[in-house]
């Protein structure tokens, strides 16, 4: 199973991706996680990405395409993968198509979690409050102001990715405002048809 999970920040992509990993035995490839790891490790990529990420902007296509290209070649991705947070621009979507074509692979499904953006801001406020209550650190980019910039970046740059896949007849849209288990069931329904 090779799939892309689309939707704005806070739509629940991470939660759903984790469930798909367990169900299908595939790896979750989250460019956000990879970039955060690079920042924490202080690698050259991390040093270049840090300030952009903290401001809620997009890291350059060149950097993220590079890390995904490398990651798709890792042995654990052979069985399949779920891309979470990538592609975020049309250039990244085109680069992904090219990378997969070179390997003789194709995407089995592209699923978009469609959400109400105003309600999302409340969801993110809860995520920050829950983390704080558990004594866990709040992600810097879950700060409400930063979150709003991330939504703006999504609307400005990433909202065009869904029409890219729609035009190719690959896009499946799911209501991401449903309870988590119902979203999972809807995704499984789509994937059952795709497999």
Contacts to ligand AMP by CB under 6 A: 9, 30-32, 35, 52-53, 56-59, 64, 85-86, 88, 92, 141, 150
Structure tokens at 191: 């994937």
Nearest approach in angstroms of CB 76 to ligand AMP is: 20
Report in angstroms how near the CB of residue 62 gets to ligand AMP at its nearest: 10
144 or 189: CB nearest ligand AMP: 144
Residue with the CB atom nearest ligand AMP in the bound state: 32
Pick between residue 64 and residue 183 the one whose CB is nearest to ligand AMP.
Answer: 64
Q: Give the nearer residue to ligand AMP in terms of CB position, either 94 or 141.
A: 141
Residue 121 φ/ψ region, left for φ over 0, alpha for ψ in the -120 to 50 degree band, beta for the rest: alpha
Nearer to ligand AMP by Cβ, of 19 and 148: the residue is 148
| CB atoms inside a 10 Å sphere around CB 11 | 23
Strands 109-114 and 2-6: parallel
CB of 191 to ligand AMP, least distance (A): 21
| 34-to-13, 17, 157, 160 alpha-carbon distances in Å | 15, 15, 20, 23
Question: Closest CB to ligand AMP among 160 and 185?
Answer: 160
At its nearest, how many Å lie between ligand AMP and the CB of residue 14? 7
Helix (H, G, I), strand (E, B) or coil at 107: coil
Cβ atoms of 128 and 101 closer than 8 Å: no
Q: Are the beta carbons of 114 and 172 closer than 8 angstroms?
A: no
Bridging pattern class, strands 81-84 and 27-30: parallel
Min. distance of Cβ 64 from ligand AMP in angstroms?
A: 4
């Amino acid at each position: 199973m090779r799939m892309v999970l689309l939707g704005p920040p806070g739509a629940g992509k991470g939660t759903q991706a984790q469930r798909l990993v367990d169900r299908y035995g595939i790896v979750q490839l989250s460019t956000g996680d990879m970039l955060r790891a690079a920042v924490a490790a202080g690698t050259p990529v991390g040093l270049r990405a840090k300030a952009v990420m903290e401001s809620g902007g997009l890291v350059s296509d060149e950097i993220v395409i590079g890390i995904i290209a490398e990651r798709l070649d890792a042995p654990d991705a052979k069985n399949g993968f779920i891309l979470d947070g990538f592609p975020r621009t049309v250039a990244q979507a085109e680069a992904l198509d090219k990378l997969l074509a070179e390997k003789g692979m194709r995407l089995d499904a592209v699923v978009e979690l469609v959400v109400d953006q105003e309600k999302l801001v409340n969801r993110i406020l809860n995520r920050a409050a829950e983390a704080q209550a558990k004594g866990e650190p709040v992600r810097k980019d879950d700060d409400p102001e930063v979150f709003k910039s991330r939504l703006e970046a999504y609307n400005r740059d990433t909202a065009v990715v869904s029409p890219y896949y729609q035009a190719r007849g690959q896009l499946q849209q799911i209501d991401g405002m449903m309870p988590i288990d119902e979203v999972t069931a809807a995704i499984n329904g789509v994937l059952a048809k795709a497999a």
